[in-house]
Amino acid sequence: MRKQIAAANWKMNLTLQQGEELLDAIISKPHSLQPHQQAVFAVPFPYLFMAQQKLSGKQNVFVAAQNCYSKKSGAYTGEVSVEMLQSLNIPYVVIGHSERREYFQESNQLLADKVTICLENKIQPIFCCGEPLQIREANTQNEYVAKQLAESLYHLSAEQLQQVVIAYEPIWAIGTGKTASSAQAQEMHAFIRAQLSAKYGASVADAISILYGGSVKAANAVEIFGQPDVDGGLVGGASLVADEFVAIINALK
């Protein structure tokens, strides 16, 4: 079975102490991760080391960065390189979250470079894609997402692509309380998989985990994750509440 992932995106929230308390609370609650299931915590950069230490030795639980820079090293004040993340043994990094695309003007081309440098350094990108509201209203979301995939991922070899986790996050559903219906999520996930299949072949496409993101919470996770092409979720708001996120982990199929 494909890897099923519940990924927490803390964004720019919580102090160090609050982050420690949240992780402690989540770890202390009963959750059962089967071998094909993972919980991932994308925490702010200053908390990576703390989270790595707290979660070390926990089966199928991993820490992720929320971003990285596209260059190897050098005079880029304020940026964080993939080599730095690798030196902390961080296995995942979120790439191209819609907030990075919107507020920091991250283009598909820049994201292609970030994906490449992650893979060159053996860090798995969680690559985000998804359409804004006006695109959904014009019913051109398939073309929009296909372009994001083509421009940021299709330079990869099939072997490289298999190291990528994709997160489909319709922007109109992020932090808004509006969730795509499970049918809308399934439809887009199946479309993404069909696109990957056309480019890389069915066996490659079938092996790639595609997460859904957009107001996932305990109350809707079972239904959304139950869709055949949905392999878990990237979760913002609900990942900041221990009981909610544990329930989301337990909703993985």
Question: Which conformational region is residue 139 in: left (phi greater than 0), alpha (psi within -120 to 50 degrees), or beta?
Answer: left
Provide, rounded to whole angstroms, the least separation between the CB of residue 27 and ligand PEP: 21
Of 66-74, 85-93, 117-125, 228-236, which part binds ligand PEP (CB under 6 A)?
A: 228-236
Query: Which residues between 163 and 192 bind ligand PEP (CB under 6 A)?
Result: 169, 174-175
Please identify, among the stretches 50-58, 154-162, 189-197, 214-222, the one whose residues bind ligand PEP according to the rule CB under 6 A.
Answer: 214-222
In the complex, the smallest distance separating the C-beta of residue 171 from ligand PEP, rounded to whole angstroms, is: 9
Binding mask 71-90 for ligand PEP (x = CB under 6 A): --------------------
- The nearest distance, CB 1 to ligand PEP, in angstroms, is 24
* 102 in contact with ligand PEP (CB under 6 A): no
Query: CB under 6 A: which stretch of 56-64, 117-125, 229-237, 241-249 binds ligand PEP?
Result: 229-237
Q: Which of 2, 237, 250, 253 binds ligand PEP (CB under 6 A)?
A: 237
Would you please indicate which residues are annotated as catalytic (active-site) residues? 97, 169
Residue 252 · residue 2 · CB < 8 Å:
no
213 binding ligand PEP? (CB under 6 A): yes
Taking the C-alpha atoms of residue 34 and residue 105, their distance in angstroms, rounded to an integer, is: 38
- Mask: binding to ligand PEP, 4-23, rule CB under 6 A, as x and -? -----x-x------------
In the complex, the residues that contact ligand PEP under the rule CB under 6 A are 9, 11, 169, 174-175, 213-216, 234-238
